[in-house]
Structure 1
Amino acid sequence: MMRVLVVDDDFMVARIHSAYVERIAGCAVVGVAHSGAEAVALAGRLRPDLVLLDVYLPDTSGLDVLRALRTGAPDDPFVLVITAADDPATVTAALHGGASHYLVKPFDARALREQVERVERIRARLSGLERAGQHDIDTVFGGRRGAATTRLPKGLTEPTAQLVERVLRGQDGDLSASECAELTELSRVSARRYLEHFVAVGAATVRLRYGGTGRPERRYRWAG
């Protein structure tokens, strides 16, 4: 279970973000803070794995809170900055301060889920290693993108490619474009475009399943 602390000065926004988190499998909100001082105090007491951090707080900047939370210790929480601030200086400061990612308000539940699940994958990958190989390090730091999201054809986007990849990786067996579309809430045509891209770059395999009348069904499986 990944323990999450939500920090936002707006009580209603904090409630919405908490609801988003609670809908993510394997996550639980362990605390909510509405000021910088409260955020630092709760983080010290609750030891969350992830902090959703607003920048505009009543007593201090969220960037100051970020620096207080990211001390360099191995058990520091991951911090996802969530704010209306879209100026390059703030984005740069968050990056240098050790933020895992930066979401500009407003955003939907899917955008938050993608970033929270990314942190979950990083935690799981690091906790299961005795030594980190270069491939593990590249994955954690994002220095190399996987084959599935490299050189995407026109009309395909990286967030959606990552969504389809997660669904495909999570299957015990193979699945069709229609099944993928249902799981990702995409159209069948869009799901198939991403699946066929994965096959083209060698990230996925496809087999034909015959039966009944009409064309054989194309079934996709993640190559790894």
Structure 2
Amino acid sequence: MIDVLVVDDDFMVAGIHARFVERIPGFVVAGTARTGAEALQMCADLAPGLLLLDVHLPDMSGLDVLQALRSSGSTVGVVMVTAERDAEAVSAALHGGAMQYLVKPFEFDDFAARMQRVHEALTTLAHGAPDQAAIDRAFGGHTAAATSLPKGLSPESARLVEKALTEVPELSAADCGERVGLSRVSARRYLEHFVDRGLATVRLNYGNAGRPERRYRSTRQ
């Protein structure tokens, strides 16, 4: 689980963001801060894995908070969540090492997709020396599995299905759907796409009765 500190001067907005975080597997809210100084102190006290950081705070800019964290040697993950659209602010966040920049207002699905990418990046780097595909995911790039997708398939879901494939020896479409939150039919579309691209293989598992089950295995194992 990744501990998240929500930093926003509007307590109602902070509450909404905290509830969003709690809905996403792999994250838990460690606390909320309403000022930059409070955010820095709570970072020191709680050592969260991720900050949801607004730019506009009453005592200092969220970008100043980000700079102070980096100057102190902190490598905490940071997602900017703000109404600020200025190009200089976006550039400062990028060069300060922010992992995502999400402009208010936004829908939960957009927020969840970005948080899933952040979770994948942080957990990938916590498990030893990553391969090139894992490094690409950590830097937010598209892997071969998530490119040239058929119509109706999303890169975010493709990355989740690809990750599920590498975590177990093999799985069915139903297994995959349960792991990543997709229907069996949708999961099978992604899995068959990976088979077509040579990123997965499929075998038929003949049971006692009924149609054989299709079992998928990553070719990267």
One-letter amino acid of the structure 2 residue matched with residue 48 of structure 1: P
- The reply to whether residue 5 of structure 1 matches residue 5 of structure 2 is yes
TM-score (norm 1): 0.79
User: 1: distance between equivalents of 2:153 and 2:145?
Assistant: 11
Q: Match of 1:59?
A: 59
User: 2: distance between equivalents of 1:135 and 1:119?
Assistant: 15
Q: Match of 2:19?
A: 19
- 1:56-94 per-position Cα deviation (integer Å, ceiling 9, x unaligned): 223332222221222272x42111111233444432221
Relative distance call for 1:216 and 1:128 in structure 2 (3 A) is closer
SS state at 2:105 partner: coil
Q: Match of 1:174?
A: 171
- 1:34-67 per-position Cα deviation (integer Å, ceiling 9, x unaligned): 1222212222332222111112223332222221
- The reply to whether residue 141 of structure 1 matches residue 136 of structure 2 is no
The alignment-based identity, stated in percent, is 53
Report how far residue 136 of structure 1 moved.
Answer: 5.8
User: 1: distance between equivalents of 2:154 and 2:71?
Assistant: 35
**Contact persistence 1:175–1:221 (CA under 8 A):** no
Q: Match of 1:207?
A: 203
One-letter amino acid of the structure 1 residue matched with residue 121 of structure 2: I
Q: Match of 1:103?
A: 102
- 1:128-147 per-position Cα deviation (integer Å, ceiling 9, x unaligned): 43x677666544334x5322
**Contact persistence 1:80–1:99 (CA under 8 A):** yes
User: 2: distance between equivalents of 1:132 and 1:190?
Assistant: 28
Alignment of 1:70-219 (within 5 A): 70-71=70-71, 73=73, 75-129=74-128, 137-142=135-140, 145-171=142-168, 173-176=170-173, 178-211=174-207, 212-213=209-210, 215-219=211-215
User: 1: distance between equivalents of 2:172 and 2:139?
Assistant: 30
Report how far residue 7 of structure 1 moved.
Answer: 0.4
CA RMSD of the aligned region, Å?
Answer: 3.0
SS state at 2:98 partner: coil
Q: Point out where structure 1 has 5 or more consecutive residues left out of the alignment.
A: none
Relative distance call for 1:48 and 1:188 in structure 2 (3 A) is closer
TM-score (norm 2): 0.80
Matched length: 219
Q: Point out where structure 2 has 5 or more consecutive residues left out of the alignment.
A: none
Relative distance call for 1:117 and 1:42 in structure 2 (3 A) is same
Relative distance call for 1:49 and 1:187 in structure 2 (3 A) is closer
**Contact persistence 2:5–2:50 (CA under 8 A):** yes
User: 1: distance between equivalents of 2:206 and 2:135?
Assistant: 42
User: 2: distance between equivalents of 1:217 and 1:77?
Assistant: 43
